[in-house]
Structure 1
Amino acid sequence: MHPMLNIAVKAARRAGTIINRASNNLDVLRVERKNHNDFVSEVDRAAEQAITEVLLDAYPNHAILGEEGGAQGDSEYQWIIDPLDGTTNFLHSFPQYAVSIALSHNGTITQGVIYDPVHNDLFTASRGAGAFLNDRRIRVSKRIQLADSLIGTGFPYSDFAHLETYMSMFKDLLQRTAGLRRPGSAALDLAYVACGRFDGFWELGLKPWDMAAGVLMVQEAGGLVSDVEGNEHFLETGHVVAGTPRVFGQLLQALQPHLTDSLRY
């Protein structure tokens, strides 16, 4: 395992310990509302602080981009952190949330960790070295037809600017696929594409920390990722499409008729 990935795993597991401990005392957690349907708890902040401490202890000159703490430092290396992707699920004891940590080197994602503390599932990826689930090599599924595919997605939850567009996409794809699922954690959704549990995924309006690690995971597992126009601006736009090599193209094509100018880069 790459030394930087190893440090990220250590950080993710430390955050997972904090999250698991807090899951037993949800009724006493302090929770704030950042926006409509967008919550942050003291667990999010504690987990991010723990991750940041582990990373900066090993690499004190690296920069940090965290969901809760924002951007810190200036370096060619930047850690992109979501300490608890799926906070709403966590607050309702719905067991679908994860820690997501990625490393960007000069703008390229090179390392990624997604840790599911509920099931103790550790997804890891290093650029050029493949993707793994609990040390077992993973690949995207072999499905080739959108009609046979299980597709993950994420509903708009805070910013509803693209709600009507999204709903038209959802209605269309509901009739073109074997099924749509919205578990509520984009990081895990992308990890599920990487290991073949989903055959594809799309979502609008994500943040870099929601998808950075997951995007690398899919790519290293043999899948394809783009923005909704088929380009590589997903980290800038927040709009992402991912899937197996064959399903990806069909999913992207199905989304094209619904695109509005506001979704274009």
Structure 2
Amino acid sequence: MDLDVEALRDAVIDVALRGGEMLRQRFGSASRVRTKSSRYDLVTEADEAIEAELTAYVRRQFPDHAVVGEEDVSRRVLSGQAASRQGAVAQAAEGREWEWLIDPIDGTTNFIHGLPIVATSVAVMYRDEVLAGAVFNPMQDELFVAVRRHGATLNGRPLRVSTEEVLAESLLATGFQYDAVEGRRLNVELFRVVLNEARNVRAIGSAALSLCYVGAGRLSGFWELRLGPWDLAAGALVVREAGGRLSRLDGGPFDIWQPSVVATNGRIHDQLVALLRQASAGA
């Protein structure tokens, strides 16, 4: 593999900015809202249109690369073309070495309700390793970018995680999954337990932006129980390149193909994981 760092960075920025501009143009006019796996799991015409345009654009620019988009994966599962989300991802990836992971609107529920905490998230992988990612919130003109071993930036400025060392001084965030009532109930219990120990806890409705906010030092930690690789890939790279730490909810090694994530500034990581494990066992 001939790795051109600048070319990778420019490519993910280009795609994220294109998606974000289309998101901006459609903001405030959500139409054809439908449910997917549950009444909480929503998709709009804008999600599908932006993903289709970005997929076509990437394929024109990189014809040898596979593109894995959130809405395409959902369509394959719901239509019966694939038996599971993992199977749908494998179909879309086509066994190619280079893969793009695209979430056209991370924060669809926010988008529907006119809450400007939304983003287009884009990452490029080589042999299952995320090399570059970009998360763009067009409503606030914030572009988060990370390249493996080359750091993370916000609008070109280098990022570093926060310096809080105890939960009692930490602002945290979480998210509530869309596809299982039991999972939502469990996270309500985790939220309750963590809220009693942390300075405060937010749920902003965008996993990609929550991860980026950890990288930017706005949050000291974030956890969620069930996410897709398109939710995680770019934002997790921002956390890592900004000096943060990632794991699964049980403390095991982080993997974008596994659904749970804990992302922190590193200093509070063991405290947060221990608290989440304790709360999960007692729920």
Residue 45 of structure 2 corresponds to 42
Distance 2:215 2:254 in 1: 20
Distance 2:188 2:112 in 1: 26
When normalised by structure 1's length, the TM-score is 0.93
Amino acid at match of 2:204: P
Distance 1:164 1:83 in 2: 28
Residue 141 of structure 2 corresponds to 120
Q: Does 1:68 align with 2:71?
A: yes
Within 5 A, what are the aligned runs for 1:103-114?
103-114=124-135
Gaps of 5+ in 2: 74-88
Q: Does 1:173 align with 2:173?
A: no
The one of 31, 39, 46 aligned to 2:33: 31
Residue 162 of structure 1 corresponds to 183
Q: Note the C-alpha offset of 1:157.
A: 3.0
Q: Does 1:10 align with 2:11?
A: no
The one of 192, 202, 208 aligned to 2:213: 192
- Between 1:42-51 and 1:88-97, the stretch displaced more is 42-51
Q: Note the C-alpha offset of 1:211.
A: 1.0
Q: Note the C-alpha offset of 1:161.
A: 2.9
Distance 1:149 1:122 in 2: 24
When normalised by structure 2's length, the TM-score is 0.87
- Between 1:69-78 and 1:171-180, the stretch displaced more is 69-78
More strand by share: 1
Q: Say which SS state the counterpart of residue 11 (structure 1) adopts.
A: helix
Distance 1:242 1:233 in 2: 9
Distance 1:146 1:220 in 2: 22
Deviations 1:205-252 (A, max 9, x none): 111111111111100000000101222244233110010111112111
* 1:216 to 1:159, Cα distance in 2 relative to 1, 3 A: same
Distance 1:49 1:162 in 2: 30
Deviations 1:131-181 (A, max 9, x none): 000010001011111110000100233322323332221111111000000
Q: Does 1:206 align with 2:208?
A: no
Residue 112 of structure 2 corresponds to 91
The one of 98, 102, 126 aligned to 2:123: 102
Distance 2:184 2:12 in 1: 35
Residue 270 of structure 2 corresponds to 249
Contact kept? 1:228, 1:239, Cα under 8 Å: yes
Deviations 1:1-29 (A, max 9, x none): 62122112111111112111111433xx2
Contact kept? 1:7, 1:58, Cα under 8 Å: no
Residue 253 of structure 2 corresponds to 232
Deviations 1:49-96 (A, max 9, x none): 222122222211111111011243331111111110101100100111
Amino acid at match of 1:66: G
Residue 24 of structure 2 corresponds to 20
Gaps of 5+ in 1: 261-265
* 1:220 to 1:103, Cα distance in 2 relative to 1, 3 A: same
Q: Percent identity?
A: 38
Q: Say which SS state the counterpart of residue 216 (structure 1) adopts.
A: helix
Contact kept? 1:2, 1:126, Cα under 8 Å: no
Residue 263 of structure 1 corresponds to none
Please give the root-mean-square deviation of Cα atoms over the aligned residues, in Å: 1.6
Contact kept? 2:177, 2:227, Cα under 8 Å: no
- Between 1:244-253 and 1:125-134, the stretch displaced more is 244-253
